[in-house]
Amino acid sequence: MTGDARDDGLTRIAFRPPVEADHRRLVDVVDHWFGRPVRARLGRMWFEHFTGTSLVGETLDPRSADPDLPRVVAFLVGFASPDRPGDAVIHLAAIAPEWRRRGFGTAIHERWLRDRAADGAVRASVVIPPDERVAYLFYRSLGFEPVTAGSRPLWGVPAFADHEGDGADRAILTRGIAAPS
């Protein structure tokens, strides 16, 4: 297995485009991975129509009963904006809780950003609830900046009240993507 993350045996990860069978696997665990109900946002369509702009990450767990069986421990579903050429959009991304803080989140995003740059994207964005502190700090660590124009501070973060409907405040984070050299 090859991978982009820190390579200390327990932390190798390999990426591939999702297949439809990944949907059932992930929709059953995604609420647990997020710690809130998001499964309605992970429709099967992402695994049917957006596989070219999405990734799953697999790793081997030498501690498990079946150490040769790759496990899906990461996903990122996204798309190239049809209306805003050059914009790559992250819809949902997560790492299995027991595999966090090993660089997997960084690795899957960096791989996705490289792939999108190769497709011609120049900018990436993600929309998150402003009270999701870990997600905010994570995207800041990747160089994403919050959109401030028209925002107001919510939970200490520049955000947009009721952005996705009543009570659904959101922060929008963006970063440029360098063209591959």
Q: Taking CB under 6 A as the criterion, which residues in 130-149 touch ligand COA?
A: 132, 134-135, 137-138, 141
Shortest Å, Cβ 55 to ligand COA: 13
- Site mask for ligand COA (CB under 6 A), range 75-114, x = bound: -----------------xxxx----xxxxxxx--------
Cα–Cα distance for residue pair 13/115, rounded to 1 Å: 17
Among 17, 29, 31, 34, indicate the residue that binds ligand COA (CB under 6 A).
Answer: 34
* Closest among 83, 25, 84, 79 to 54, alpha carbons compared: 79
Q: How far is CA 64 from the centre of its chain?
A: 26
List C-alpha distances in Å: 57 to 7, 35, 79: 14, 20, 17
Number of residues that bind ligand COA (CB under 6 A): 20
Taking CB under 6 A as the rule, does residue 63 contact ligand COA? no
Q: Are 12 and 59 in contact (CB under 8 A)?
A: yes
**Which residues sit at the interface with ligand COA, rule CB under 6 A?**
33-34, 92-95, 100-106, 128, 132, 134-135, 137-138, 141
